[in-house]
Amino acid sequence: METTEQIRDRLLARFPGATVTLVTNPGPAAEHSLLLGAAHAHAIALFLRDDPALQLDYCSNATGVDWPDKEIIDVKKLTVPDPAGGAPKIVEEKTKRMDPGYLEAVYHLYSMALRHGPVIIRLRTTNRSDQVTLPSLTPVWRSCDFQEREIFDLYGIVFEGHRDLRRILMWDEFKDYPMRKDYVDPDDYEWEPTPHAEVLDRAKQHYPTPPPAAQPPDGPSVASAKEGKP
């Protein structure tokens, strides 16, 4: 099979306006992937499926990944001359910038006919809040049907062109997207005397006053029995 670079070059030659970027995988697996622009993703997917040299007729795995906003601190070293005439000082200047986050859909493609693969393609949304639409690849590979529904359900990527985009694992009335990194569990813990400190803390936040402990049954207490009182 061609290397990922060769596939990228062929795609760029075939689709002049498209953005196809190589995303390298630094790990030992070294399975590099292709980041596709959303505009041409559907056409490129069709090309990958039907191209006689590739014939990626089987989309094995489709999944989402959440990359939240990241605060990056740039450290710049400045040399400040000493006005008193001494040696110049080196001062570190820190600037903060936000690296905008995005949601990502990853597809692992194999060829069942030619028995090669995987070719990994990625699609990214513009941000994580309001522009989360990506083209659906279900019309190209039907196997994405349930998997794209799952990404929609757990990550909140809206797939345009999916014919039946509903929640699949969570119930329909559910609001949030549980697989996102900033997902907060709903505050519906019941109060219970539990040895798990974290659960107990959360339960206490929800129920500031625990229900009163059960009253001891009537009768002489242990203390009074010891003292011999009636």
Residues that bind other proteins (CB under 8 A): 25-31, 49-50, 55, 57-61, 63, 65, 106, 108, 112-113, 115, 118, 120, 138-147, 154, 163, 167-171, 178-179, 183
Question: Closest distance between other proteins and the C-beta of residue 206, in Å?
Answer: 21
Q: Which amino acid is at 208?
A: P
What is the number of residues in the chain? Answer: 230
Tell me if 44 sits within 8 A of 20, measured CB to CB: yes
Tell me if 91 sits within 8 A of 77, measured CB to CB: yes
R_g of the chain computed on alpha carbons: 29
Cα atoms in the 13 Å half-sphere on the side-chain side of 214:
3
Q: Which is nearer to other proteins, 20 or 110 (CB)?
A: 110
Task: Copy the structure tokens of residue 134.
Answer: 């990506």
Q: Which is nearer to other proteins, 50 or 69 (CB)?
A: 50
Q: Which is nearer to other proteins, 171 or 228 (CB)?
A: 171
Q: Which is nearer to other proteins, 132 or 138 (CB)?
A: 138
Question: Closest distance between other proteins and the C-beta of residue 120, in Å?
Answer: 8
Question: Closest distance between other proteins and the C-beta of residue 11, in Å?
Answer: 17
91, β-bridge pairs: 78
Q: Which is nearer to other proteins, 91 or 113 (CB)?
A: 113
Q: Which is nearer to other proteins, 26 or 230 (CB)?
A: 26
Calculate ∠ Cα 20-21-27, nearest 5°: 140
Question: Closest distance between other proteins and the C-beta of residue 215, in Å?
Answer: 38
Question: Closest distance between other proteins and the C-beta of residue 162, in Å?
Answer: 10
Distance CA 120, CA 34 (A): 6
* Phi and psi torsions of 220, nearest 5°: -65, 135
Task: Copy the structure tokens of residue 155.
Answer: 């990550």
Question: Closest distance between other proteins and the C-beta of residue 144, in Å?
Answer: 8
